[in-house]
Structure 1
Amino acid sequence: MGRSESDPLLEFMYPGHGSSSILDIGQGENGIVGSSSNGNNSFNSLTYQNISENSPLIRNNNSANSLVDHNYNSPLSSTSSSCGKSEILVGTTNEKMDLTGTEEAKVKKIGGSGEHKIGQLFATAICGNDITSSIFYTASSCTLSAGKYAPISLSIVCLVLYLFRKIYGEVGSALPLNGGAYNVLLNTTSKQFASVAAALTMISYVATAVVSGSSAMGYLHSLWEGLDVFWATIILLGFFALLNLMGITESAVVAFIIFVIHMVTLCILVFGGFGLYFYKHDWTILINNYQDVNPDIPIGPDQLPCDRQFYWGQDFAYCIYFGFGSAMLGVTGFETSSNFIEQQKKGVFPKTLRNMWAIVTFFNPLIGVLALCYLPTCSIANANSDVLAQLADRIFGKWFHYWIIIDAVLVLSGSVLTSYVGFVGLVRRMALDRCLPQFLINVNPLRKTCHWIIILFFLICSSLFAIVKGQTSTLEGVYAVSFLGVMGLFAIGNMLLKYKRSSLRREIKSPWIGVLLGLVAVFLGLIANIIRNTSIMFYFGIYFSITIFVIMVMFTRARLLKVVLFFSQIVIWWSPQLKARVARSIGDSIKKINSQPIVFFAAKDDTAYLNKAILYIRDNEQTNWVKIIHCYDDQGESIDNFSQNVEFLDGCYPKIRIDFIKVFADFTPSTVEKISIILGVPKNFMFIACPKEHTGSMVIPLSLGDFGGVRCITH
């Protein structure tokens, strides 16, 4: 087969021949005897009952080291290797695994870390704090762009959000796993392209946490002038890091309290404001605003007069368009729920989308109108994030002005909490997929939380805030581009899901026209923000490049080590012993990276079909070991062609070991769970082609999410 390599330093590149074996997890007295490609018919017996989560055969994380010490006699160890004197890989050669008479295995999702599931109210509160906190600056920024037409722009955004409610809902129904846009693109495109969405989402969360935390402490500074905003922001970020270390349930309780206070505040503002307005019958300010009267009002040192505002003198379409671009930033946080979907109870995810849409649709346009009733357009545009406080002062007086400030501190702080929750869910999923370092998925045994991710997020946000010296204006532009980019990629992912994964079952379906309109709307909003301030692309490019660089290093670390190996053999010319020692060390590191086995559940023996799966794995996963598994429930079914085709492909790819395992059982979530436990392969490294309603014995019962993380990789 051409697997041997004369240079022992390069033996790590050739993992050896594949094997053929049989696994019986059906009912019956006897296991099915299988054969190995090396002709050895002696079998080791292994029962499902003997395997526990503490077994040395089970890998509890994805950094599975498949290198076996020569003194370790594993029942799954390969009996031969073409790698000379190198350590052999744990394989599936020559074993008989008897799982007869076992109960169905409980399916565990890959992203679950043992935390309690949260319900509709708590999940809505976590997301709602983020999306409703934006009203503190959206009313002003939208008026700055649209002037008196701001309520119209805000209403158009609500229509766009309704489209995305369906778009997000369909994806979450078909693929109920953490990761958001990353998750849907991972199951419809390549891992590299999915990582672009992940990078945008991470940038969005970091920018949100820093900007919201700084804004919250800025509001608090207006009440307590002795407060140091810089250190107060760092302390706030640290407080929510500690809260997240305690667990998502405890975090959700705090988020819910903040959310309730904020909803009560907005209701008092809206209902009380309109009630007093219609009671007093003073229409002067509203009429002047719509007649473009330039009021004689004092202008601050950093403020512009009315006739120099962006909207002044522009036509209806111009104002509506750029107002729409600004108003799109008023729905940031809508994507958060999809990044911790596995921590939500069943059926909660679409309800959180509905609740967020309803809240935004009710409050944002009404507050835009209310502001025009009480404040001149120019004053609203100059108010920045202080517009609601000024509005409260005009309606109820100073006491409500202070109330709004306190509410702003709370809800903007809640937005920081939302960023933590979304970031943790996304990074954990990426670490499970080996897109990020594996230590990030370590779980605190006491609170079942991913402490390294939480600490990392705190350090990133704190250091970034220190780098910009507390001036977050540059981050606001980065925040705008990354958020709109994530929404656009989510719409693209939904279209790919419809085209490539149309047979996946889902409870919610978004019409094609709705997805296309949503994508166009987001693109137009992104263009509007870039035209308004072209410099945001420069800053966005810096942050995006750094983030994507870290991810790409993880993708190419095995290749980078090969480059290091090549140059080390040139540089270390004076000492053959040192050269060999360095080569062995680097080779072992590469072998460890590539030794994570990948499972592909094959429904048919077509060579082109199998080859397509292997090509995807080769191009997207860092591995040199593929296990092709075929589940069948008919003992009379001939699978000779399967073995021959797999053996043929095994010879075509000398740098990939391809095993073939026959499983006498239906393809069900329980079967997949048992195989995952026995082989020690996490389910996010178990792939299938997109199944039809009935593909042989492979039947999808409800959705791909029922399998707990198995991925679709081919069309």
Structure 2
Amino acid sequence: MSAPTLGDDTETWIAIDPITRPDPASYTHSPANPPSFLESQVDGIILRRQRQRPQGGGGLKHSASPSSRFLNLSRDFEFAGWGSFSKMKLTVEEPAEEPRAPKLLGQATASALAGNDVLGGVFYTLPAVLAVSGVYSPIALFAATLTPFLWRPMMEELASAIPISGAPYSYMINVSRKTLAILGAALLLLDFTASSVVSAATAASYLDGEVDLPFPPFVAAAFIVATFALISLSGLKESARLAFVVLSLHGITMLILSIFAAIQWSQIGNAQLQQNWHMGSTASPSSILRQIFYGFCLGMLGLTGLECTPSYIGRIKPGHFPLVLRNLHLPAIVLNTLMSLLLIAVVPLSVLLDGANVLSVLAQEVVCGVLIGILGVCELLKKLAHDRVVPTMFLNPLPLTGAPYVCVLFFMLCNVVMYASSGGSLTIVSNMFSLVWLTVMVLFPVTLLQLRFNRGRLPRDTRTPLSVIFLSLVVAAVVFAGNVVIEPSTVGYFAAYLIAVLSVFWGTQHKVQLLGIVYWVYDQYPTLHRWDASKTWGKWLVGLMARLKRQPICILVKTDEINHLLHMILYVRENEETSCIKMVHFCGDEEDGEGIPSELEANAKILDEAFPEITIDLIIVQAAFTPANVGLLARRLQIPTGLMFVSCPGPRSRYPVAEFGTRVISL
């Protein structure tokens, strides 16, 4: 059947008419209206194997698949038991010890956590920018500090859509595949670790230049990291207060320094500025543009810390995140431009280029970059532990403060490994840090594009123009290339560290697969079986794989459309290591079951048979779909809310996704 031709220049489109089927309303069977032969045949095909399943679930699924890949392990190991159908009523039974509600941060304390890193960034970058840009450094730094005007609206849109700590990993896990989210987590871990190492090592280096330390600089760096690790164990709120005090001292110090420099400038006039200009200026326009471009690329690193703010967004009071970004960005514009201009106006250019203690105040300011690194990693690792990417021991808190001490100790270990593997070279870590930071900043526009395409229905307060998103990608690519041109060796270090972290995360994410490979090797060598006569190691490996696969995942479904249910199950199979899925439907308070979709039970049974390696249990919850009830269900099933998956809520949703704490996995 051909559709009408749209015009002389257009091709003819062929449309296939749908097969005419009976109206579903006519499927009402009764003695007076028995089912037709076609209906009986279809029902028989669907239900034939379902009658073989145990009434209450359980029992191993049977399959005609080939034998097991293991020599001494039955193929039954590859298959799960039949799912069950049950109904549940939620009662308001609070746990014996209610978890402590997190204390929210206002814009002042929230700004202070990242503010010391952002405002202290001028001391990271100023010597490097002066080395490549000379007298054009103020222009280069000013241009670099304008780039967050591209990133701020994107970060605000993402934060309003998914205000969950651990971002941008938490953004990516909700808008894309888990593999890409783990890549983002690896970059974040490198960013936080490199920021901490660079901060501590640079501060120790400048302290060593100012005073005669009785020990090597790396000992001072380790002492700085350990000190801030102890501070972070006091809790986020207390760390934020300390950061606010340090930021206040930082601001006062910069203000006094600026005032005295301005007074000096007024006393000596423009003589030093003119001398530096004549000494450092070039006649070639291409040379001037090259100097400014290189300074612009390096000056972007003066904004490090801005990417850390979404990592603790769940602890910031609602509506304050845009204010936090503003509080971090605008002072950075003034500080970076003003400090570079004052230096060129009052200090001879030869002294600046020799690096003669231009940054003597660095040791007093930059160490707080260690604090924001620790806090950012703690939020990231806790989110990864909830998602079973890393072991749950990372969630263990201190009894008094609730601080995740395992996360802090792990972060200290990461600092030691990175600093030691670089041979204690601050240059190597700094070069690697520049590319890591730029790549992390790319995550924001990339994630926002995925949010627009994959989760377009997700409610949010603001919308960033697409032109801004694409422009930010271009800027990031240009700056990345510029840093590589300035120091080509940075690519090698960046790739080496990233591959190392990704390898660890891949292993923790594919534990069952790795254990299966180990068991397969064990299975292939009879010598190992003779040595392990009681099969202790083999039984232990099989038992460990079975325990890991039994860890349940919950999908919260609203409809009985089998295509929608299939896509959710496929997501679980491709992204999580589990053989147990709890399919849950909240039907409201109706006792007669009128709120249950008519085909939900039948479709759940079909899918349970379609995936012999997964047990699919259907649970009907007689309660309203609210954040409180989802929390009660999570405690009842002993499944973290981060492993309870939902489809994307629309603009009419009564509750934002952050209140549920669930993961969005479909459009």
Aligned to 1:40: none
Equivalent of 1:163 in 150, 153, 158: 150
Gap runs ≥5 in structure 1: 26-46, 55-105, 295-306, 390-404
Aligned to 1:387: 358
Equivalent of 2:310 in 314, 335, 338: 338
CA distance in 2, matches of 1:48, 1:137: 54
Task: Provide the secondary structure at the position in 2 that maps to 1:509.
Answer: coil
Contact kept? 2:554, 2:581, Cα under 8 Å = yes
Deviation at 1:238, TM superposition (A): 1.2
Equivalent of 2:128 in 141, 152, 158: 141
CA distance in 1, matches of 2:128, 2:540: 57
Contact kept? 2:125, 2:302, Cα under 8 Å = yes
Aligned to 2:606: 648
CA distance in 2, matches of 1:250, 1:637: 48
Deviation at 1:136, TM superposition (A): 1.1
CA distance in 1, matches of 2:347, 2:448: 42
Contact kept? 2:202, 2:426, Cα under 8 Å = no
Give the partner amino acid of 2:431: G
Task: Provide the secondary structure at the position in 1 that maps to 2:81.
Answer: coil
Q: What TM-score, normalized by structure 2, do the two folds share?
A: 0.84
Aligned to 2:489: 535
Instruction: Report % sequence identity.
Output: 27
Equivalent of 1:625 in 569, 574, 580: 580
Aligned to 2:407: 453
CA distance in 1, matches of 2:496, 2:284: 33
Deviation at 1:577, TM superposition (A): 8.0
Contact kept? 1:420, 1:454, Cα under 8 Å = yes
Aligned to 2:83: 18
Q: Deviations over 1:555-587 (max 9, x none)?
A: 111011111222222224554984754333212
Q: Deviations over 1:611-631 (max 9, x none)?
A: 111111111111111111222
Contact kept? 1:12, 1:588, Cα under 8 Å = no
Give the partner amino acid of 1:262: H
Deviation at 1:485, TM superposition (A): 0.4
Deviation at 1:291, TM superposition (A): 3.8
**Where does 1:80-119 land on structure 2 (aligned, <5 Å)?**
115-119=102-106
Q: Deviations over 1:628-672 (max 9, x none)?
A: 122234643452311111111111100011111223333221221
**Where does 1:289-688 land on structure 2 (aligned, <5 Å)?**
289-292=276-279, 314-383=286-355, 386-389=357-360, 405=361, 408-572=362-526, 575=530, 578=533, 580-633=535-588, 635-637=593-595, 639-688=597-646
Contact kept? 1:690, 1:712, Cα under 8 Å = yes
Aligned to 1:57: none
Task: Provide the secondary structure at the position in 1 that maps to 2:633.
Answer: helix
CA distance in 2, matches of 1:647, 1:627: 13
Q: What TM-score, normalized by structure 1, do the two folds share?
A: 0.79
Give the partner amino acid of 2:439: G
Deviation at 1:422, TM superposition (A): 0.9
CA distance in 1, matches of 2:580, 2:391: 20
Structure-2 change in CA distance of 1:602 and 1:638 (3 Å)? closer
CA distance in 2, matches of 1:608, 1:153: 54
Give the partner amino acid of 1:145: V
CA distance in 1, matches of 2:61, 2:488: 55
Structure-2 change in CA distance of 1:691 and 1:117 (3 Å)? closer
CA distance in 1, matches of 2:596, 2:406: 50
Contact kept? 1:115, 1:248, Cα under 8 Å = no
CA distance in 1, matches of 2:239, 2:184: 26
Task: Provide the secondary structure at the position in 2 that maps to 1:676.
Answer: helix
Give the partner amino acid of 2:358: V
Q: Does 1:287 align with 2:269?
A: no
Contact kept? 1:491, 1:519, Cα under 8 Å = yes
Structure-2 change in CA distance of 1:566 and 1:257 (3 Å)? same
Task: Provide the secondary structure at the position in 2 that maps to 1:640.
Answer: coil
CA distance in 2, matches of 1:138, 1:625: 51
Aligned to 1:67: none
CA distance in 1, matches of 2:354, 2:167: 36
Structure-2 change in CA distance of 1:378 and 1:618 (3 Å)? farther
Structure-2 change in CA distance of 1:378 and 1:313 (3 Å)? farther
Q: Does 1:230 align with 2:184?
A: no
Structure-2 change in CA distance of 1:196 and 1:53 (3 Å)? farther
Q: Does 1:714 align with 2:633?
A: no
Aligned to 2:13: none
Aligned to 2:41: none
Task: Provide the secondary structure at the position in 2 that maps to 1:504.
Answer: coil
Aligned to 2:32: none
Q: Deviations over 1:447-469 (max 9, x none)?
A: 21111111111122134334434
CA distance in 1, matches of 2:490, 2:654: 45
CA distance in 2, matches of 1:53, 1:20: 29
Contact kept? 2:307, 2:441, Cα under 8 Å = yes
Deviation at 1:388, TM superposition (A): 4.5
Gap runs ≥5 in structure 2: 1-48, 50-59
CA distance in 2, matches of 1:377, 1:198: 42
CA distance in 2, matches of 1:446, 1:388: 39
Q: Deviations over 1:51-86 (max 9, x none)?
A: 6357xxxxxxxxxxxxxxxxxxxxxxxxxxxxxxxx
CA distance in 1, matches of 2:595, 2:331: 57
Q: Does 1:151 align with 2:138?
A: yes
CA distance in 2, matches of 1:52, 1:139: 54
The alignment covers a number of residue pairs equal to 597
Aligned to 2:227: 239
Contact kept? 1:140, 1:382, Cα under 8 Å = no
